[in-house]
Chains A and B, each alone.
Chain A
Amino acid sequence: MPHIDIPSGLPGITGLLESRLDTSEPIRELTQFILRGPSSLTEGERELIASIVCDGNECQFCTRAHTTTAARYVGSMDLVRSIIDNPLASPLHPRISRLLVIAAAVRASPRGVSQELIDDARRVGATDVEIHDTVLIAALFCMYNRYVDGLASVCPDDDTYFETLADRLSTQGYVRKGLVNATH
């Protein structure tokens, strides 16, 4: 049971974001831009960055939401799992593998990124903005994971919930659901 009353009764982050709109509005805008806005990183690559952080933080709701969404872009949940378990052994371009290593370092420790990790990423073509965005996505999910678990929000058991959520996140992004529907 959540530590506070969630008026909407919605699970995971969705109920929390509905419970305080003045903070959720900038959080949603930031998330929509950094995960779905114009970028040289693909949406799938950015969902993998989110996934490796949520998985490392053992946040069940966020991990299931973002790995299921990442799988829509990269092909399968097995591939997502193998990439986040060992990014350097993945079949992806070394640029994203090295960025995933940076994301994991940001998660593990607030001061975990070394010059060496940055140099390794640059050597295989990572740009300044890609490095910036990787660090910010990793930091953002360190917030989300703590928000969701710190208030013990509910995590649904069934895969169907997360498949439906991934449908929405991969086609409509992170804008507020009511607003998306209002435009249709």
Chain B
Amino acid sequence: MAFVPVDASIPGIRSLFEFRPETGAPLRRLAHALLHGESPLTKGERELIAAFISHGNQCTFCTMSHAAAARHHYGSEADVVDAVVYRGDHSVVSSKLQALLVIAEKVRRGGRIVTDEDVAAARAEGAVDRDIHDAVLISAAFCMFNRYVDGLQALTPRDPDAYIEMGKRMAEVGYDGGR
């Protein structure tokens, strides 16, 4: 049971958005801008970073929901998501994304450990400022979202099927209610 009285019929972070709409509204808009807004990274790549970081933080709800959204974006190549998130096999994604995942993982563990060499390695694979910015901010934002969900013990469905429709909606509609 969640630590605060949320609507128990709503899974995960959405129950917290409903509990405190004043903070739910900007949190939704932030997720939408990060994962659906303009970026040199594809929506699939961004959802993949979100799922990868959430898995590192052991946040089951965010991992399963964002992995489902990423699979939806990747379509016939959906196994890429499982390789990166669950099997730790990064060879299935571009060299640029591999280098950005190294940076994102260091941001997850603590921003200060990202080195100039990590950033130079990403640039050598074609990453521009905006790729690096977005990889860092997506990782940082999921260090917030994961702590918010698990710090308040929001309801986490255990059945993987529960995430398929959720992921589809996240991928197609996004996070701001379709505005």
Chain A residues near B (Cβ < 8 Å): 3-5, 19-20, 22-23, 25-27, 29-30, 33-34, 37, 57-59, 105-107, 110-113, 115, 118, 128-129, 131-133, 135-136, 138-140, 142-152
13 A-B pairs within 8 Å (CB atoms) are namely A4-B132, A23-B37, A30-B26, A30-B27, A37-B22, A105-B151, A113-B152, A131-B152, A135-B148, A136-B20, A145-B111, A146-B140, A146-B143
Known contacts A147-B140, A150-B139; is-contact A132 B20 (Cβ 8 Å): yes
Interface membership of B51, Cβ < 8 A: no
**Number of chain B interface residues as a range:** 35 or more
Pick the 8 closest A-B CB pairs, nearest first: A149-B111, A150-B111, A146-B140, A143-B144, A139-B147, A26-B26, A26-B29, A30-B26
Interface membership of B57, Cβ < 8 A: yes
Are B145 and A111 in touch, CB under 8 angstroms? no
Return chain A residues, CB-CB under 8 Å to B141: 143
Tell me the complex Cα distance, A157–B164, Å.
50
Are B111 and A106 in touch, CB under 8 angstroms? no
Residue in B116, B139, B143, B151 whose beta carbon sits within 8 Å of that of A135 in the complex: B151
Tell me the complex Cα distance, A33–B144, Å.
16
Residue in A34, A138, A151 whose beta carbon sits within 8 Å of that of B136 in the complex: A151
Interface membership of B19, Cβ < 8 A: yes
Interface membership of B30, Cβ < 8 A: yes
Contact with A along B1-39 (1 / 0, CB 8 A): 001110000000000100110110111011001100110
Are B23 and A139 in touch, CB under 8 angstroms? no
Chain B residues near A (Cβ < 8 Å): 3-5, 16, 19-20, 22-23, 25-27, 29-30, 33-34, 37-38, 57-59, 103, 106-108, 110-112, 114, 116, 119, 129, 132-133, 136-137, 139-141, 143-148, 150-153
Known contacts A110-B151, A146-B107; is-contact A129 B144 (Cβ 8 Å): no
Are A131 and B4 in touch, CB under 8 angstroms? yes
Residue in A57, A128, A138 whose beta carbon sits within 8 Å of that of B151 in the complex: A138
Known contacts A106-B147, A149-B110; is-contact A118 B33 (Cβ 8 Å): no
- Interface-centre pick from B23, B116, B132, B145 (highest chain A CB count, 10 A): B23
Are A22 and B33 in touch, CB under 8 angstroms? yes
Are A150 and B23 in touch, CB under 8 angstroms? no
Return chain B residues, CB-CB under 8 Å to A4: 129, 132-133
